[in-house]
Structure 1
Amino acid sequence: MWTPDDRVGMDSNEHEPAEGAAPPPPRASGIAGLSTPYRVVAALALGAIAVAACTHLAFVFLHVAPTNTLSKQHAQTIDGWIYPEFEQNWKLFAPNPLQQNIAVEARAEVRGPDGEVAATAWYDLSAEDARAIRHSLLPSHTRQNELRRAWDFFTGSHDENNEPNGDRGRLSEEYLRRIAVNRLAPRHPDGTLLRIQLRSATTAVPAPKWSTETTDTQTYYRELPWWTV
């Protein structure tokens, strides 16, 4: 039973939920809470932003990366996108990634047990280091860097005529000579090393098969003078 007072505060369009009925689900937040037309518009807008962002990052990457076939082919398009608003004053690799294979080789003059002096063949020291570290789970730091850095030290402190530029040049000669002697002496336990000579064999990395770029892959040698041990 109810009385007229029970209707106070109730709207004629409101209905009390039936006992035991589940409450209506809460409205979803974000894009999921929008109606279908608005969800479509929001999805298209987000897709356009994602495409624009990826395109921009791709252009910036090609601009700061070392020159390659793709950046050469589309250089005008890339520059048109980058300049002037998105100009970059840095490069991904500085100054440029190495595009040459440089091997350090050595040979020696050895006096044998009979007193005869003979020159050995050239030994590819860089190839020996590569074989020692290839497939190794714990490659030697010395094998990876000693010879390479010694050669860089030498070339950076000598002119094109292999003349040293000050004390650092003479120090680099002593360092490189000591490395070569340590590598060659165990090969001739019955002989005596008299002199050693080193050289570099430089070969450009060939262009990929799909590239139209031509590369001179001839090996060029830089021979150092004979050094007395």
Structure 2
Amino acid sequence: MDAYDKGSNARPVPGEPEAAVPDSRPPEGQETSDGHETADDHGTPDSQGPPVGQTPSARIPQQYGDQQEQPYEGQPYGDQQYDGQYDDTALAGPPLPPPPAGIAALSLPYQIAAALALAVVAVAACVHVGMVFLHVAPSNTVTKQHGQAIDEWIYPEFEQNWKLFAPNPLQQNIAVQVRADVRAADGEIRTTRWYDLSALDGAAIDGNLLPSHTQQNELRRAWDFFVATHDNANRPNGLRGALSEKYLRRIVVLRLDREQAGGRGAVVQQVQVRSRTTNVPPPKWSQEQVSDKPIVRQLPWWPVSEADRAAGTRPGESTGTEASAR
């Protein structure tokens, strides 16, 4: 039995050769009992400390199981100069992609609904641009075959005109006036006075910093639309004649109802429209001579239907039959 097998305090027997003391270090590349690995430079001069001029704290601690010597500060480290600090980005991995935004952030049903809504808006915009282009373009095969559909899309809301850039702008004041036959609450038929609708619009605009588009242009454009589609005998000269007449009639019926023509509870039976045109006087320094006599254009009586009354007017009792035109 070996003398060293008796314990750590055993001594060698006198007269016997000393047994070789076993090396307490494990072989190179194997772990010790405390989990550390041995290095192959144990006991060598290179392992005694950092190079001259370096402090022991500048040496980067080795990771367990790493047999490769870490470089010191200022020594080459791969393709870069090592500065003694760890690179945390190397351990963090590639950056995460940003979260989805916009429509991509929605669920699949909402993405489909949003795509359909955008498609409808795009189609409507393309149709509108195409209709406006065909309206302002010179006469062609498409406008000849589908002129009525184009006009119904454009008029009256999207009508295009070039009066702002005309070389000879309007030099007349045109007042649109209307009167009506109304059935009063007692059943009597009465004829109202003439209502100057243009003067009422002018009074609403005067002193108003933000007048509405309706106050400024609705009545004026309706009258221009009627004049452009009728001859001097007030007969329609195209397909838009009936449309312009209906548009103007519904506007004046609405305005008469707003003014309570004929008294409270009166029902409009038929209306008559006229225009009173006067020339704008030239400036004093001008030698131009214009007539100051007004020109009156009076239209025939128009019967008012239930559809005309329903277009924004107050409800009234129906007479069952419309009054005949005078």
Same fold (TM over 0.5): yes
Matched, 1:226 2:301: yes
Tell me the residue number matched to 2:212. Answer: 140
Q: Is 2:274 the partner of 1:202?
A: no
Give the Å deviation of 1:185: 1.6
Backbone CA RMSD of aligned residues: 1.4
Are 2:191 and 1:96 aligned? no
1:140-180 Cα distance to aligned partner (Å, 9 max, x none): 11111100100010000001100112320100000000000
Distance in 2, Cα, partners of 1:201 & 1:222? 7
Q: In the aligned structure 2, how far is the partner of 1:162 from the partner of 1:95?
A: 28
Question: Percent identity of the aligned residues?
Answer: 61
Measured against aligned partners, the alpha-carbon deviations of 1:170-197 in whole angstroms (never above 9, x if no partner) come to: 0000000000000002314311111001
Normalized against structure 1, the TM-score is what? 0.58
Aligned to 1:131: 203
**Amino acid in structure 2 at the alignment position of 1:207:** P
Deviations 1:28-70 (A, max 9, x none): xxxxxxxxxxxxxxxxxxxxxxxxxxxxxxxxxxxxxxxxxxx
What is the one-letter code of the residue matched to 1:149? R
Hey, what's the Cα distance between the residues in 2 that align with 1:121 and 1:209? 36
How far did 1:96 drift? Answer: 1.2
Q: 1:110 aligns with which of 167, 178, 182?
A: 182
Corresponding letter in the other structure for 1:156: A
Instruction: Give the distance between the partners of 1:185 and 1:133, measured in 2 at CA.
Output: 20
**Residues in 2 aligned to 1:106 and 1:169: alpha-carbon distance in whole angstroms:** 19
Unmatched 5+ stretches in structure 1: 1-91
Tell which structure's C-alpha radius of gyration is larger: 2
2:4 maps to none
In 1, Cα distance between equivalents of 2:196 and 2:167: 28
| 2:240 counterpart residue number | 168
Using the TM superposition, give the Cα deviation of residue 112 of structure 1 relative to its aligned residue in structure 2, in angstroms.
1.0
Instruction: State the distance in 2 between where 1:133 and 1:94 align.
Output: 25
Query: Which whole-Å CA distance do the structure 1 matches of 2:294 and 2:188 have between them?
Result: 33
Query: What SS does the aligned partner of 1:107 have?
Result: strand
Q: Show the counterpart of 1:180.
A: 252
Measured in 1, the distance between the counterparts of 2:182 and 2:167 equals 42
Structure 2 length normalisation: TM-score?
0.41
Using the TM superposition, give the Cα deviation of residue 93 of structure 1 relative to its aligned residue in structure 2, in angstroms. Answer: 4.6
Match of 1:121 among 193, 213, 221: 193
Structure 2 residue 268 is the aligned partner of structure 1 residue 193: yes
Q: Secondary structure at the match of 2:240?
A: helix
Residue 211 in structure 1 maps to residue 286 in structure 2: yes
Measure, in 2, the Cα distance between the counterparts of 1:95 and 1:171: 30
How many Å apart are 1:95 and its aligned residue? 4.2
What are structure 2's unaligned runs of at least 5 residues? Answer: 1-163, 305-326
Letter in 2 for 1:160: N
Q: What is the total number of aligned residue pairs between the two structures?
A: 138
2:291 and 2:282 map into 1 onto residues whose CA distance is 9
Q: Alpha-carbon deviations, 1:12-35, whole Å to 9, x = none?
A: xxxxxxxxxxxxxxxxxxxxxxxx
Specify which structure has the bigger relative contact order, considering alpha-carbon pairs within 8 angstroms and separated by 6 or more residues: 1
Match status 1:152 vs 2:152:
no
In 2, Cα distance between equivalents of 1:137 and 1:99: 24
Q: Distance in 2 between matches of 1:105 and 1:180?
A: 9
